[in-house]
């Protein structure tokens, strides 16, 4: 018993010092209040991780003082929590944090019970705490039976407290499109329609992927290839005629000056999970019909996107789509 | 006993028997031709047409040749509530159908999967006996027999649940059932006849086991041939039931109004039929392995003697191994199915993967990750009973770390659940870091890493209790290290590269990723086995000494299989949205809406609970029979004045 307690105390003190030093410093620096630049902050994080690894190695390998599993487990849990809650910025929503920490909790339990010696090391102090009748065991038993129900009671109380926040909406961001839409007196089959301005130098349809040759070029110089001419005209719609940038941002990252006035906020085209996952016709449908035509699964009107069919021509809609893919460097989804 | 192996005339006898049963199995299909002829005749006089020329309808799926067919039945009815729907009090009729269907499917899957294992086990037993190790051969034979015993009890439950399902359809969805049975009329009787054939073969196979094995040993190969027929009939039954389901998702062989166009094969061979069938066969096999492993764990935990513990420890390992063999290709079959669904209807694909039902895939990812982690955890525990495995203990935590990082990557959702305040704090609907893990490139990478890691764990398991003696062992180890490292590098590189290329090319990248995984599986395991040749054992496997955590892990594995099946069943069914038969027969009942995830989660959990409650009853019955047999044996032994053998199985 004593060997566990000695090692536990030693390792616990070390772990606590690490956590006490690291957590507030990271919160302070990460929150923008610190004197560190982003690069220095990353270097500090790497340094702390290295310090922890080297300390563990020294303790186990050189001093013969491996950290007991019962201490490793909560320490690992705290490290995971700090990583997901503080180091990972911007902060992730609580639902995702709960999922990640759920996985980590299970993983830590599995880690402690991977082998029989490991499990015995982990469970023995718990068994002692539950069964033995001497001072330390008794004390830790009483403490456990006070702390654990206390934590559960606190959690229950926190959950029952009335909240004034807006309720969570599990909104479908990419609802299934209709089979076809009517636009300016013409019907477009969304399964088969193609962007008429996706053309190469020979004037023929440019296969998706082949436009990569134009990525990185400047569409606004004098004599540019046909494809870049379409990009230029689409850019004019984005920044001029329609003013898409007010919401979707100069960099198409959904951070335009108006963006934070809306809920949900505008789509971020620069993210690999938006337009690069969709067919061009899907984007065509969204631009043309906007929020009012969203399907029931995506809450019709739960988007401030105007129905641009009322303000833009069909050609302008196709061209602005060409511009969006070109600017972000993504390719639309195809099934060919 | 099996004193006749190697005699070719017995094999010939077995082949003749197999031929006879195959002929019998084909007999039910004979009336199809008559049905088709009748359909064409009916078409000529449909709806009082006086012309000799049958009225033609345009197929909703088949194009060019075979696009038109004679209208041979009534159109799909316009369903009216409450006339075409029945109710039981305030219960949702759909939920009643859902539960009865799921329970029937669980037991059906189980009783179709077990004969596959039994057949393999029996064959292995025969082959081992032929090689001269009669004791081990009998062990496999007994294992197969015991597996069959569980299946037999479950077979009766399946039949009862099938009856409940049919009556539920007739009582609650009579309009729908009338239409569907009208479309499938040419083959409905075949299903019934196959079921009778399956029952007959099953009973002869099970009850004739000892007779064909011991008293008439000459018939062992014949018995195995019966097993072949049993599996063939079972798969045929499953294929037929799947054609109804896949027809509801992606109808063919009918026109836009739902008229049957006279060709039942087109109805059955609808666009999603083949991938659904392949996915189902693999799923059944994996599920069956999981359930048998859970049974063996149940018996392991309740065993009273070391012999019993040893036997059930071994049985659980074999069953788990068989299940995993089917589990490894399952994600790829699922991937193919999704691709076919996208190919069939873009809307259906987006509803599943990016829209209304996208969160179900997060649930599925959680369950599949649970399956792989559990398998690895079981193998780690199983190594605890193998002397010499201590050398590999330090590697376990790194393998676990790969699995956990892959899991976190795999279950990161594309659409996050968050409050408006969280959304604004994050600066957009997608997180700039974790958002990258919400797309398919990351998911494919994660699952391939998990499967590769599982294979690595298995290779460690194979070698952990021996010292290698082949002279080229060090070269082999370098080769294996290189192979495994390169597989991980290739999988990761292609995963990252996938972000920079068009989606159609990105989908193609899954092939080389899978190729890396399969190379490790086939080449790695083969080289590993070659290296084990002549190896010096550190110690024998101590069957029965596995930790209880390993046994519980197998329960977890089986429950995870069950829950995955439930959740994916909900998904496959919900993707039809408000259609009974997609775009043909509309659901006009009050339950045409898609159930929310919370409700689906509750019903799925209820289904899992119901299944396991019934299954525990089946396990208990099997244990009861064994206990009775043991008691008789013990009494006989006592009467004879000899020692009581410990644990017959």
Nearest-angstrom CA–CA distance, B530 and B15: 34
B646 lies in a domain? no
Confidence of residue B511 (pLDDT cuts 50, 70, 90): confident
Chain-chain contact of B355 with A298 (C-beta, under 8 angstroms): yes
Q: Is the pLDDT of residue B649 over 50?
A: no
State residue A11's pLDDT score: 59
Closest CA in chain B for residue A249: B428
Confidence of residue A186 (pLDDT cuts 50, 70, 90): very high
Ranges of H-type helices in B173-270: 174-183, 185-207, 209-210, 220-249, 264-268
Closest CA in chain B for residue A275: B503
Phi, psi of B642 (to 5 degrees): -110, 170
Number of separate domains in chain B: 1
What are B174-201's pLDDT values in tens digits?
999 999 999 999 999 999 899 899 999 9
Apex B207 CA angle, B202 and B213, nearest 5:
110
Q: Is the pLDDT of residue B235 over 90?
A: yes
State residue B644's pLDDT score: 36
Please provide the average confidence, as pLDDT, over all residues in chain B.
86
Share in percent of chain A as helix, strand, coil (round to 5): 60, 5, 40
B279 lies in a domain? yes
- Identify which has the larger pLDDT, A132 or A64: A132
* Radius of gyration of chain A from its Cα atoms, rounded to whole angstroms: 29
A226, A202 in Cβ contact below 8 A? no
Q: Which of A71-85, A164-178, B98-112 comes out lowest in average pLDDT?
A: A164-178
Nearest-angstrom CA–CA distance, A23 and A20: 6
Chain-chain contact of B347 with A335 (C-beta, under 8 angstroms): no
The token duo for B531 is 């290296």
B595 lies in a domain? no
Report the CATH architecture of A180-328.
Orthogonal Bundle (1.10)
Give the number of beta-carbon pairs within 8 Å between A and B: 179
State residue A1's pLDDT score: 45
Contacts of A209 in chain B (CB under 8 A): 501-502, 504-505
CA B234 to each of CA B151, B239, B320, B376: distance values in angstroms, whole numbers, following the listed order: 13, 9, 22, 31
Chain A contact present for B343, CB below 8 A: yes
Average pLDDT on A188-213 reads 88
B261 lies in a domain? yes
State residue A218's pLDDT score: 86
State residue A317's pLDDT score: 96
Q: Which of A70-74, B18-22, B256-260 comes out lowest in average pLDDT?
A: B18-22
What are B119-176's pLDDT values in tens digits?
999 999 989 988 888 888 889 999 999 888 888 888 989 999 999 999 999 999 999 9
Chain-chain contact of A103 with B499 (C-beta, under 8 angstroms): no
What are B13-22's pLDDT values in tens digits?
667 767 766 6
Chain A contact present for B596, CB below 8 A: no
What are B265-305's pLDDT values in tens digits?
999 999 999 999 999 999 999 999 999 999 999 999 989 99
Q: Is the pLDDT of residue B2 over 50?
A: no
Q: Is the pLDDT of residue A34 over 60?
A: no
Highest-pLDDT range among A49-58, B224-233, B625-634: B224-233
Confidence of residue B626 (pLDDT cuts 50, 70, 90): low
State residue B218's pLDDT score: 67
The token duo for B641 is 């004045």
Confidence of residue B638 (pLDDT cuts 50, 70, 90): low
**A90, A92, A334 ranked by CB distance to B503: nearest:** A334
Query: Which 242-261 residues of chain A touch chain B by CB within 8 A?
Result: 253-255, 260
Considering only CA atoms, which of A122, A131, A33, A28 is closest in space to residue A75? A122
Chain-chain contact of B415 with A114 (C-beta, under 8 angstroms): no
B406 lies in a domain? no
Q: Is the pLDDT of residue B378 over 60?
A: yes
Average pLDDT on A186-202 reads 89
Domains of chain A, by residue range, sit at 2-160, 180-328
Instruction: Count other Cβ atoms within 10 Å, centred on residue B371.
Output: 24
User: pLDDT > 90: what percent of chain B?
Assistant: 57
State residue B39's pLDDT score: 55
B103 lies in a domain? yes
Nearest-angstrom CA–CA distance, B580 and B592: 9
Chain B contact present for A208, CB below 8 A: yes
B31 lies in a domain? yes
Which pairing describes strands B56-58 and B68-70: parallel, antiparallel, or unpaired?
antiparallel
Q: Is the pLDDT of residue A171 over 50?
A: yes
Q: CA of A313, closest CA in chain B: separation in Å?
A: 26
B269 lies in a domain? yes
């Amino acid at each position: 018993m004593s060997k566990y307690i000695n090692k536990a105390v030693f390792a616990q003190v070390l772990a606590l010092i690490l956590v006490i030093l690291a957590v507030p410093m990271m919160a302070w620096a990460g929150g923008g209040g610190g004197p560190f630049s982003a690069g220095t902050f990353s270097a500090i994080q790497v340094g702390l991780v290295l310090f922890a690894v080297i300390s563990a190695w020294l303790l186990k390998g050189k001093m013969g003082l491996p950290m007991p599993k019962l201490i490793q487990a909560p320490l690992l849990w705290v490290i995971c929590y700090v990583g997901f809650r503080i180091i990972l910025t911007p902060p992730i929503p609580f639902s995702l944090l709960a999922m990640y920490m759920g996985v980590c909790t299970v993983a830590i339990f599995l880690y402690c019970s991977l082998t029989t010696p490991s499990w015995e090391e982990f469970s023995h102090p718990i068994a002692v705490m539950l069964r033995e009748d001497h001072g330390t065991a008794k004390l830790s038993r009483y403490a456990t039976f006070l702390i654990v129900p206390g934590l559960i009671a606190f959690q229950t109380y926190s959950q029952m407290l009335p909240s004034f926040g807006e309720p969570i909406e599990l909104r479908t961001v990419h609802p299934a499109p209709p089979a076809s839409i009517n636009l300016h007196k013409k019907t477009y089959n969304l399964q088969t329609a193609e962007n008429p301005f996706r053309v190469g130098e020979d004037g023929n349809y440019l296969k998706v992927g082949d436009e990569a040759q134009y990525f990185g070029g400047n569409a606004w110089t004098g004599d540019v290839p046909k494809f870049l001419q379409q990009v230029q005209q689409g850019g004019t719609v984005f920044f001029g005629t329609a003013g898409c940038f007010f919401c979707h941002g100069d960099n198409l990252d959904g951070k335009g000056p108006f963006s934070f006035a809306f809920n949900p906020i505008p789509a971020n085209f620069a993210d690999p999970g938006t337009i690069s996952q969709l067919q061009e016709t899907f984007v065509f449908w969204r631009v043309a019909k906007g929020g009012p035509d969203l399907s029931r699964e995506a809450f019709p009107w739960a988007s401030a996107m105007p129905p641009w069919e009322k303000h833009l021509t069909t050609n302008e809609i196709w061209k602005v789509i060409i511009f969006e893919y070109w600017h972000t460097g993504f390719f639309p989804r195809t099934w060919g | 006993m099996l004193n006749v192996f190697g005699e070719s005339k017995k094999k010939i006898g077995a082949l003749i028997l197999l031929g006879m049963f195959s002929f019998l199995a084909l007999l039910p299909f004979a009336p199809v031709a008559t049905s088709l002829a009748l359909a064409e005749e009916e078409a000529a006089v449909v709806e009082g047409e006086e012309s000799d020329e049958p009225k033609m309808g345009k197929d909703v799926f088949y194009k060019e040749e075979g696009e038109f067919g004679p209208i041979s039945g009534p159109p799909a009815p316009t369903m009216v509530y409450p006339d075409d729907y029945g109710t039981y009090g305030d219960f949702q009729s759909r939920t009643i159908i859902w539960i009865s269907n799921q329970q029937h499917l669980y037991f059906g899957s189980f009783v179709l999967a077990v004969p596959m294992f039994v057949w393999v086990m029996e064959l292995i037993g025969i082959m081992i006996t032929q090689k001269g190790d009669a004791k081990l051969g009998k062990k496999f034979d007994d294992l197969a027999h015991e597996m069959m015993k569980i299946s037999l009890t479950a077979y009766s439950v399946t039949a009862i649940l099938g009856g409940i399902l049919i009556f539920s359809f007739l009582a609650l969805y009579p309009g729908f059932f009338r239409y569907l049975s009208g479309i499938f009329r040419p083959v409905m009787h075949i299903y019934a006849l196959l079921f009778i054939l399956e029952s007959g073969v099953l009973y002869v196979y099970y009850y004739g086991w000892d007779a064909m094995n011991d008293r008439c040993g000459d018939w062992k190969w014949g018995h195995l041939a019966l097993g072949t027929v049993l599996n063939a009939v079972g798969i045929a039954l499953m294929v037929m039931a799947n054609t109804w389901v896949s027809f509801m998702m992606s109808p063919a062989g009918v026109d836009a109004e739902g008229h049957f166009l006279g060709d039942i094969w087109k109805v059955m061979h609808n666009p999603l039929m083949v991938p659904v069938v392949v996915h189902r066969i693999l799923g059944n096999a994996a599920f069956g392995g999981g359930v048998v492993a859970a049974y063996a764990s149940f018996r392991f935990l309740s065993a009273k003697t070391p012999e019993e513990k040893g036997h059930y420890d071994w049985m659980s390992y074999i069953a788990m191994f068989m299940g995993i063999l089917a589990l490894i290709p399952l994600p790829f079959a699922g991937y193919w199915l999704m691709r076919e669904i996208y190919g069939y209807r873009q809307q259906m694909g987006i509803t599943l993967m990016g829209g209304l039902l996208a969160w179900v895939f997060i649930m599925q990812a959680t369950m599949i990750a649970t399956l792989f982690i559990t398998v690895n955890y079981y193998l780690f525990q199983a190594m605890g009973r193998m002397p010499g495995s201590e050398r590999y203990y330090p590697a376990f935590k790194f393998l676990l770390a790969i699995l956990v990082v892959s899991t976190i990557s795999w279950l990161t959702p594309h659409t996050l659940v968050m409050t408006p305040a969280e959304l604004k704090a994050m600066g957009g609907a997608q997180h700039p870091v974790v958002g990258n893990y919400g797309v398919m490139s990351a998911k494919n990478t994660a699952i391939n890493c998990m499967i590769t890691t599982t294979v690595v764990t298995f290779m460690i398991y194979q070698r952990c209790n021996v010292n290698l003696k082949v002279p080229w062992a060090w070269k082999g180890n370098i080769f294996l290290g290189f192979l495994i490292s390169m597989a991980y590098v290739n999988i990761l590189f292609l995963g990252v590269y996938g972000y920079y290329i068009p989606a159609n090319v990105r989908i193609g990248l899954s092939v080389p990723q899978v190729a890396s995984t399969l190379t490790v599986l086939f080449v790695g395991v083969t080289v590993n086995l070659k290296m084990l040749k002549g190896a010096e054992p550190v110690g024998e496997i101590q069957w029965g000494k596995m930790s209880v955590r390993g046994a519980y892990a197998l329960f977890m594995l089986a429950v995870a299989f069950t829950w995955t099946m439930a959740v994916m069943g909900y998904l496959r069914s919900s993707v039809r949205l408000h259609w009974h038969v997609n775009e043909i027969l509309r659901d006009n009942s009050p339950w045409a809406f898609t159930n929310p995830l919370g409700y689906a989660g509750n019903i799925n959990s209820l289904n899992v609970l119901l299944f396991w409650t019934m299954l525990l009853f089946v396990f208990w019955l099997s244990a009861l029979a064994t206990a009775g047999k043991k008691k008789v044996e013990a009494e006989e032994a006592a009467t004879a004045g000899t020692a009581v053998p410990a644990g017959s199985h």
